[in-house]
Amino acid sequence: MENWHFIGIEGVIGVGKTTLANILGRRFRAKVILEEVEENPFLPQFYEDPQRYAFVTQLFFLLSRYNSLKEITTRDIFARRVVSDYIFEKDRIFAAINLDDRERLLYEKIYTLLERDIPSPDLVIYLQADTDVLLERIKKRGRPYEMNIDPDYIKVLNETYNDFFLHYRKGPVLIVNSNRFNFPRDEKAVDLLVERIKEVQSGLNFLSMEG
């Protein structure tokens, strides 16, 4: 995909989205858009009491993601390449898991109004990893509010992500098995990924970093 303008990187918490976005931003001389996760004031309370804080946490993320991605106008995309460490549709994954029926009904009304202003990526890179690998990476990076994450929550999230991207049809998807992909230290692996990005045309595509 030589002529891409907007790449969105996705994956479960701790998989390495931000690291890869910065690497690809440098490789392709692209503008990098990073999700401001730590700016969400409700996130620590959500991990302590998910049922109570789910809706306000989700609404903050939805509006934050909207405000960041709406700036990627058609003119901006064609003027300069953009790499983001998330896509707008990810919000629905978390909403489906975390919100009750009444909250989800209101959430969907808001989401539908905002969605129309957000461009879809030319390519989505989905970083896939086993749940135990994700838990180890979360532990290693040591964010205090993530220390209370329920392993079962990450397991459900991982399964939901896998299903979502296997059925994603808004554009091509490159699914990368990243269990052994050390982005900052493995230049050859990054080179391989960059070459794979250039080859992608449509549909589901796969790249394993197991070897």
Q: Does the annotation list 25 as a binding residue?
A: no
Q: Does the annotation list 18 as a binding residue?
A: yes
Q: Does the annotation list 138 as a binding residue?
A: yes
Element (H, E) at 28: helix 17-28
Of 85, 122, 186, 191, catalytic: 85
Q: Is 118 exposed, middle or buried (0-12, 13-18, 19+ CB in 10 A)?
A: middle
Catalytic residue status for 76: no
Q: Does the annotation list 33 as a binding residue?
A: no
How many residues are recorded in the chain? 211
Q: Does the annotation list 8 as a binding residue?
A: no
Strand ordering across the sheet containing 31-33: 31-33, 82-84, 6-11, 123-128, 173-177, 204-208
Q: Does the annotation list 11 as a binding residue?
A: yes
Amino acid at 56: V
Q: Does the annotation list 80 as a binding residue?
A: yes
Q: Does the annotation list 85 as a binding residue?
A: yes
> Among candidates 72, 157, 167, which has minimal Cα distance to 122?
72
208 phi/psi in degrees, rounded to 5: -100, 135
Q: What amino acid positions are annotated as catalytic residues?
A: 85
Binding-site residue positions: 11-19, 35, 47, 58, 80, 85, 137-141, 146
Binding-site residue positions for substrate: 35, 47, 58, 80, 85, 146
Binding-site residue positions for ATP: 11-19, 137-141
